[in-house]
A and B are shown apart, each in its own frame.
Chain A
Amino acid sequence: MPATIELSGLEVHLGGRKILHGLNATLDSRAIGLLGPNGAGKSTLILTLLGFHRPSGGTARVLGLDIQAQSGSLRPLVGYMPENDAFIARMSGIRFVRYFGEISGLPAAVALERAHQTFVWIGLGEARYRALGTYSQGMKQLAKLAQAIVHGPRLLILDEPTNGLDPAGRKRLVGLIREIRDTTDAHLLISSHLLHDVEETCDEVLILREGRVAGTCNLAEERRANRQILELELAGAGRGPAGSEPPSADAEFRATLETLGCACAASGRGRWKVTLPAGLGVREVYRAASELGVLIERLSHRRDSLEDIFMNAMDQAR
Chain B
Amino acid sequence: MAVYKRRYDPYRGRLTERWRRWSVLTRFALRELFASRFFLGFFLACWIPVLAFSGYVFVANSEVVRSLLSLASRTLQLRVEASFFIRATQIQGFFAFLLATWAGPALVAGDLTNGALPLFLSRPFRRGEYVFGKFAVLGILLSSITWIPALGLFFLEAGLSPEPWLGAHRWLLAPIVWSSLVWVVLLGMVALAASAWVRWRIVAMGAIFGLFLIPAGLGAVLNATLGTKWGQLLDLTYLFHEVVNAGFRESASFGPAVPLWAAWGTLALVSAAALELVLKRLRAFDVVRG
Contacts and interface: CB of A to CB of B under 8 A. Distances in A.
Contact of A103 (B12, B123, B289): B123
Contact of B10 (A53, A72, A99, A184): A184
Contact of A52 (B9, B16, B24, B118): B118
Given A85-B115, A86-B119, A90-B110, A114 B2 contact: no
A253 interface: no
Give chain B's interface secondary structure class.
loop
B169 interface: no
A84 B289 contact: no
A118 B8 contact: yes
B254 interface: no
A88 B120 contact: no
Interface stretch (B181-189, B265-273, B280-288): B280-288
Interface residues of A, number: 51
Q: Residue among B25, B118, B289 with the most chain A CB within 10 A?
A: B118
Contacts of B5: 117
A226 B110 CA distance: 51
Contact of A105 (B21, B110, B116): B21
Interface string A81-101: 010111111100001000110
Most buried by A among B12, B111, B121, B122: B122
A300 to B, nearest CB: 40
B13 interface: yes
B122 A88 contact: no
A120 B3 contact: yes
Interface residues of B, number: 42
B38 interface: no
A75 B124 contact: yes
A201 interface: no
B1 interface: yes
Counting chain B CB atoms within 10 Å of each CB, which of A116, A117, A151 scores highest?
Answer: A117
A119 to B, nearest CB: 9
Contacts of A176: 8
Nearest to A14: B287
A116 B122 contact: no
A233 interface: no
Nearest to B125: A103
A50 interface: yes
Interface of B: 1-16, 18, 21, 24-25, 28, 32, 110-111, 113-116, 118-125, 284-285, 287-290
16 contacts: A15-B287, A15-B289, A72-B124, A76-B124, A86-B115, A87-B116, A105-B16, A107-B13, A107-B15, A110-B11, A117-B3, A120-B3, A120-B6, A151-B11, A152-B10, A184-B8
